[in-house]
Amino acid sequence: MLLILEQVLNGLQLGVMLFLLAAGLTLVLGIMNLVNLAHGSLYMVGAFIAASAAQWTGSFLLGLLIALPAAALVGIAVEVIALRNLYERDHLDQVLATFGLILFFNEAVAMIWGPRALFIDPPSWLSGAVEILPGVPYPAFRLAILGIGLAVAGFLYWLVARTRLGMTIRAGASNREMAGALGIDIKRLYTLVFGLGAMLAALAGVMAGPIYAVEAGMGEQILIPAFVVVVIGGIGSIRGALAGAVLVGIADTLGRAFLPGIIGAFLGPAAASGAGAALASMAIYILMAAVLIWRPRGLFPAHG
Amino acid sequence: MKSRILTLAALGAFLAAPALAAEPVKIGMITTLSGGGSALGIAIRDGFKLALDQGGGKLGGHAVELIVEDDGRKPERAVELAKRMLDRDKADILTGIVWSNLAIAVVPKVTRAGAFYISPNAGPSLLAGKGCDANYFNVAWQNDNLHEAVGQYVNDKGFKKVYIMAPNYPAGKDALKGFKRFYTGTVAGEVYTKLGQKDYAAEIAALRGAKPDAVFFFLPGGMGISFLKQYDQAGLTGDIPVFGPAFSFDQTILGAVGDAALGVINSSQWNKDIDNAANKAFVADFQKAHGRLPSLYASQGYDAARLIGSALAATGGKAGDKDAFRAALKAAKFDSVRGAFRFGNNNHPIQDIYVRQVVKEGDVLTNKIVATAFKDHQDAYAADCKM
């Protein structure tokens, strides 16, 4: 029972991590109608800058504070230089161009930081484990990720639903021309949204640094589940991204934790390591298919 | 008239012979240079190139042309590259692949085309036993070997309840099979994770629940970095000791894992402190060229190049003379950086395997040999190979 609780917590935490990445992705996709495969590259850039800055200053928090604006600047530069010309093009062109950006960023990171993975330590007060339930020590840093993710979700909800900027974002999303005619500078708005998305991706990257390997190409592996989250949640919806991320995180974790055992109980240990492991890695895609059959536009479609 | 033709023919043959000899031998290297796991492929390439640079662009005194391509850890891409190198570039020798699933897809195509494949890393059981081939040589190890050594060590140290873990791909299956071949205690849990997986929270929670007295894991590249960090953060480092093959404690990743790896026992066929002239030259030259310590993978790339060099020297640079070249490869007349080295009947190494421990030299984490696990160890599949 305790184990199930712990695994649900693990799932929540993975979900929150995915949410940080998916939030920026869904904003850019929903509002700017841009399929940005290079979102994972911004996640990687955030992690690398944070790792270097943390090494240089000796403080994880300073690394975080340096990485966020730096990654936002990188994002804005990418938007202004490369992506601005793609908004009017169809999705295939966007996919090709942003795939090119992935290659560019991977190569650039390897050139600047070398081929080896970087080291980044969590701050010492978050490096241990906390006993959340009797006999279940849980890594403090993962709890911090959970807290930060939920705080970001709250902040984004406030930003989009309650502020003037959020209002213009929503206006730009539902009718671009009309919003422009009413005097909103759409160009600047898009740059801002993209910068915000880049910063969220970098935040995910920095938080991932101490638990995952900081290496070139780290962005692609997590990008696919992040897209699954966006599709499940409904494109353009922050609320959907949070719900989708938590669902994906829990489905993936519980699948990995219990599916091989369940299959093994019915079909024997050979099936547990074969079919069980295979099925566990498919769990999130099965979930996505099921959600799409039930609600073809995702859980919380943003408009219409 | 007749004599003139003869003279011309003789002249032609005379001119052609040195031209043929000067034709560089083409070596195609397919390896992982981008994306996850690229550090491994880059190390293999750098090791291979070091041998080439030491010979002034030649191997065994003969000119070679090295074509390097990136497979991005994707089997279909590797197959495509192999096809191109064989058909268009007419490569004589292919090498470089890091991952077993890619090797299984590529190697049979290469040997069927009559070319040679020298593996600097992947050694899947499939290609060591029934699927062995006269034109396929593995200069590193058969996949099971390093895991067998850990199994033996863990057994000798009296661990009775070990939790074992590997990614769900051919080398992962070979790893756990190899471990269990020499470990006789009970298995507290046997888990296959997704290749390239980053988050191990679920596995670590399940592992703690199983209360093992030790953990054996094979997670090469970034997977191992992620696992070790998360294992440490879960507060398990002091409680349940971990053991693994060299791949998770290699020079390419120790820096990223940090002190969480300190003191861990792992197995390897090579280490930078093995005392022989070839190894000393390799370690010193690699450090000079790249400003970092060489990794296990670099040592394997280096040996692959030197094996090819030895065969080129023995055959006068004629990789086209298949039988002679094959025999020269099999003889393996080169000074391996790991010391004694020879091929078994299935063209896989018979070699010593060591037990290493992660130590700190100044600020740098590295490995030190503490024991010898096996002397002249051969893989378990050799008997299945009809060679």
pLDDT at A286 over 60: yes
* Residue of chain A minimizing CA distance to B209: A3
- Residue B218: per-residue pLDDT: 95
Of A106, A128, A210, the CB nearest to B235: A128
How many Å apart are CA A238 and CA A241, to the nearest integer? 5
Q: Using the beta-carbon criterion (under 8 Å), do A213 and B222 form an inter-chain contact? A: yes
- What architecture does CATH give domain B144-268+353-384? 3-Layer(aba) Sandwich (3.40)
List every span in chain B annotated with CATH 3.40.50.2300: 2-141+274-343, 144-268+353-384
For residues B262 and B228, the answer to whether their CB atoms sit within 8 Å is no
Q: Using the beta-carbon criterion (under 8 Å), do A211 and B205 form an inter-chain contact? A: no
Give the distance, in angstroms, between the CA of residue A67 and the centroid of all CA atoms in the same chain.
Answer: 16
Amino acid identity of residue B75, one-letter, is P
- Residue B13: per-residue pLDDT: 47
For residues B111 and B239, the answer to whether their CB atoms sit within 8 Å is no
Mean pLDDT of chain A: 90
Q: How do residues A16-27 score in pLDDT, each as one tens digit?
A: 999 999 999 998
Q: Which among A124-128, A166-170, A300-304, B311-315 has the top mean pLDDT?
A: B311-315
B374 pairs with which residues across the strands? B353
Which of these, A86, A102, A106, A103, lies nearest to A94 by C-alpha position? Answer: A86
Rg (alpha carbons) of chain B, rounded to whole number:
22
Total domains, chain A:
1
Count Cβ–Cβ pairs < 8 Å, chain A vs chain B. 140
Packing angle, helices A2-32 and A39-57, rounded to 10: 110
- Residue B324: per-residue pLDDT: 95
State in Å, rounded, how far the first CA of chain B is from the last one: 52
The Cα-based distances of A300 to A167, A235, B25 in angstroms read 18, 8, 61
B93 pairs with which residues across the strands? B27, B116
Flag whether A80 is in a domain.
yes
- Residue A119: per-residue pLDDT: 87
- Residue B1: per-residue pLDDT: 45
| Token representation of residue A187 | 């160009």
How many Å apart are CA B291 and CA B235, to the nearest integer? 34
- The fold of the B2-141+274-343 domain, in CATH, is Rossmann fold (3.40.50)
Of B168, B233, B252, the CB nearest to A211: B233
Left if phi > 0, otherwise alpha if psi is -120 to 50, otherwise beta: which for B167?
beta
Q: What is the mean pLDDT of residues A145-171?
A: 91
Range in A160-174, A216-230, B344-358 the model is least confident about: A160-174
Q: Using the beta-carbon criterion (under 8 Å), do B205 and A106 form an inter-chain contact? A: no
Residues of chain A positioned with their CB less than 8 A from the CB of B298: none
| pLDDT confidence tier of residue A87, bands split at 50, 70 and 90 | confident
Residues of chain B positioned with their CB less than 8 A from the CB of A273: 168, 190-192
Left if phi > 0, otherwise alpha if psi is -120 to 50, otherwise beta: which for B181?
alpha
How many Å apart are CA B91 and CA B97, to the nearest integer? 15
- Residue B159: per-residue pLDDT: 96
Flag whether A92 is in a domain.
yes
How many Å apart are CA A213 and CA A227, to the nearest integer? 21
| Token representation of residue A87 | 């908004």
Domain that holds residue A106: 9-216
- Residue B11: per-residue pLDDT: 47
| Token representation of residue A241 | 């991204």
Flag whether A232 is in a domain.
no
- Residue A3: per-residue pLDDT: 85
In a 3-state reduction of DSSP, which class is residue B95? strand
B360 in contact with A at a CB cutoff of 8 Å? Answer: no
Residues of chain B with pLDDT under 70: 1-22
B209 in contact with A at a CB cutoff of 8 Å? Answer: yes
Give the predicted TM-score (pTM) of the model. 0.87
- Residue B80: per-residue pLDDT: 97
Q: Using the beta-carbon criterion (under 8 Å), do A212 and B199 form an inter-chain contact? A: yes
